[in-house]
A and B are shown apart, each in its own frame.
Chain A
Amino acid sequence: MNKPVDIPLPNPPPLAGEGREEVTRAEVEDFLYYEADLLDNWKLDDWLALCTEDVGYYVPPNEKLDADHRYTLFIVADDAVRLRERIIRLKDPNCHAEYPPSRTRRLITNVRIIGAEGDTVTVAANFAIYRHRRNEPPRQFVGRYRYTLRRTDSGFRIVERRACLDAEELGPMGAVSFLL
């Protein structure tokens, strides 16, 4: 299998315990870089372990980025059950769109904590994801993340993850067959 080269990953970043200190941007950045590494290396079970039991993963339609998935047709709107199934699918060699797995590289920048309440923080970040497949021109996915993260004793956990694409339509990006 033509998997990307395995590189050593950092341990999950340590976290101050609940109620002890304010979350810092550096802590959030460490977490997002760690998450990006997991996804770029197709360590999907490890990634899923970063999600809460009630996680939601959303890619809204390009022309309506602030929409609600209950009333609007999204590109992706996974609850925890379907997200687990998506990971099963992505690991299956019969997931033809992602076999062999694409090589991806995620650049995460402009990270900001935009809200904090109790053990929950809301985070915004920009992303540029390059996706490479054999004999295909690279595809670029550029946009903005909005995270809701929960602090736990073992580090941050993802409650909600929303990837908003800047392009006016998916167009040449084609399908969104890997995790944005």
Chain B
Amino acid sequence: MNDRPNGHGNGHANGHLVAEDREHSTFRVKREVFVSPDVLDAERQAIFDKCWIYVGHASEIKNPGDFHTRQVAGRPIIFCRDRQGNARALINSCRHRGAIVCRERQGTTRQFYCIYHGWTYNTDGSLKAIPGDDAYGPGFDKKTLGLVEVPRLEQYRDFYFLNFDHNAPDLATYLAGAKDYIDLVVDQSPSGRMEIISGIQEYDIKANWKLLVENSVDDYHLVTTHSTWLNYMRNSGVNVAPAKGHMLPTKGLGKDLGNGHLTTDNPNYRGRPVAKWISVYGEEAKADIDAIRKELVERLGEARAARVADTNRNLCIFPNLVINDGSSVTVRHFYPTAPGEMRVVAWALGPVEETEAQRARRLHAFLTFYGPGSFATPDDVAALELAQKGFAAWRDVPWSDLSRGMGKNEEQLATDEGHLRVFWRKWSQLVETRP
């Protein structure tokens, strides 16, 4: 990707909060955007009420009656499969007086039941029964009093997104170039079916949610923030020496996928369960990884297999879904709970065909780098929380700098900030140019 301000339909970013100066090759973001309740309100309206927001994966609602309750776009949502087999996103609030009607985290049910006055709803949201319904007048229409359904729910290759904007473009259009990178994830399964693995990592970071967007794709911080992880890799016999002229072992790129979506795209050095062996896996895993690789080549051909198995990609789907496809596959969404605080929810994703040993290897690799008990994520959390503390002086030090890599004509590296600017341009377009 070259660093073009108007690429893929993104607007200029010369507003008040995001300032791009092409002449001097600088790109700055006002720190106010990380601390201001007004900015968060604006984001809720301009972003979370308008964009496609990740809600869940098809593998989580395999059977009729399966449900998960989640916080999505600031609302309590029931993500479920109704008894007719349709995926649904219902607002988890009783039509009578508002109480949450489904309190469990997940499960399988025939109905949703409000404990307050006993109103019950079918899994498609329709109102099933009201205790003492003879007390209502003749115009009272139960058919209109089902759980409110989120206006739009669409999926791309089993990843379900919802949208509160009736007039939003369809999901496939919205995802733009991000679709190719989801395809690279799904291609790892022989049948094209990936599944969310049980076990949820759900934790808070005392930092603005946008800092995790930046952090998830920012390879510039890897060497300083994650030196203890690099030590672990080195101790385990993995070559993590920087490539000539680069900060990291391979020359990785930052890419603009359109519509505010972005990714890193790095030749692999840190191993992949599908399918690149490193010493951490142990000698005994070599033959198995070879077999996975062979299946990949037979099914996809040499070139596509290499594309899938020899590159690592941290994909950010605007605004708040990150799929890290590297030493394991993570699905991670996060949302603001206050200007200076976010909730992160993360899952592991794997091919449904995986054997016991393959699944165990995938999960082991996940936990080394990713998640709140890993060798890396806690240090990211520390860095983000330090930044948030620094923003207390936002009036005195008003700007953050994201100019790295600007002004050069060749492609943007993953250690540049060109792909971070993709996010901020889209953010600015939505938040700063609202009517």
Contact = CB atoms under 8 A, between A and B. Distances in A.
A30 to B, nearest CB: 28
B86 interface: no
A86 B375 contact: yes
A103 B200 CA distance: 28
Nearest to A82: B368
A73 B201 contact: yes
Interface in A99-135: 135
Contact of A175 (B343, B356, B381): B381
A174 B200 contact: no
A73 B199 contact: yes
A62 B372 CA distance: 12
B235 A75 contact: no
Nearest to B225: A96
A70 B363 contact: yes
Q: From A74, A92, A168, name the one whose CB has the most chain B CB atoms within 10 angstroms.
A: A74
Nearest to A168: B105
Nearest to B356: A70
A38 interface: no
B232 A72 contact: no
Given A70-B360, A77-B363, A89 B231 contact: yes
B363 A175 contact: no
A94 B200 CA distance: 27
Contacts of A60: 199
Interface stretch (B40-48, B110-118, B202-210): B202-210
A71 B198 contact: yes
A80 to B, nearest CB: 13
Contacts of B225: 96
A173 B210 CA distance: 21
Question: Could you say which interface size class chain A belongs to?
Answer: 35 or more
B382 A67 contact: no
B163 to A, nearest CB: 26
Contacts of B184: none
A69 interface: yes
A172 B379 CA distance: 16
Nearest to B366: A73
B93 interface: no
B204 A171 contact: yes
Interface in B346-378: 347-348, 356, 359-360, 363-364, 366-368, 371-373, 375, 377-378
Given A88-B231, A89-B231, A174-B206, A59 B373 contact: yes
Contacts of A89: 228-229, 231-232, 375
Interface in A49-101: 59-64, 67, 69-77, 79, 81-82, 85-86, 88-89, 92, 94-98
B197 interface: yes
Given A88-B235, A96-B225, A97-B381, A72 B198 contact: yes
Given A172-B204, A174-B206, A174-B381, A94 B228 contact: yes
B238 interface: no
Contacts of B433: none
B373 A75 contact: yes
A155 B377 CA distance: 36
Contacts of A176: 372-373, 378
A177 interface: yes
Contacts of A79: 364
B382 A96 contact: yes
A170 interface: yes
Contact of B197 (A71, A82, A169, A172): A71
Contacts of A77: 363-364, 367
Contacts of B381: 97, 174-175, 177
A61 B348 CA distance: 12
Contacts of A97: 378-379, 381-382
Q: From B200, B229, B366, B377, name the one whose CB has the most chain A CB atoms within 10 angstroms.
A: B200
Interface string B226-249: 011101100110000000000000
A74 B373 CA distance: 9
B6 to A, nearest CB: 38
B383 interface: yes
Contacts of B202: 62, 169-171
Interface string B289-325: 0000000000000000000000000000000000000
Interface of B: 105, 197-206, 225, 227-229, 231-232, 235-236, 343, 347-348, 356, 359-360, 363-364, 366-368, 371-373, 375, 377-379, 381-383, 389
9 contacts: A61-B199, A76-B367, A82-B364, A96-B383, A97-B379, A170-B202, A175-B373, A177-B373, A177-B381
Given A95-B379, A97-B379, 10 more contacts: A61-B198, A73-B367, A77-B364, A82-B364, A85-B236, A89-B232, A96-B383, A97-B382, A169-B202, A175-B378
Interface of A: 59-64, 67, 69-77, 79, 81-82, 85-86, 88-89, 92, 94-98, 135, 168-177
3 closest Cβ pairs, A-B complex = A73-B199, A97-B378, A76-B373
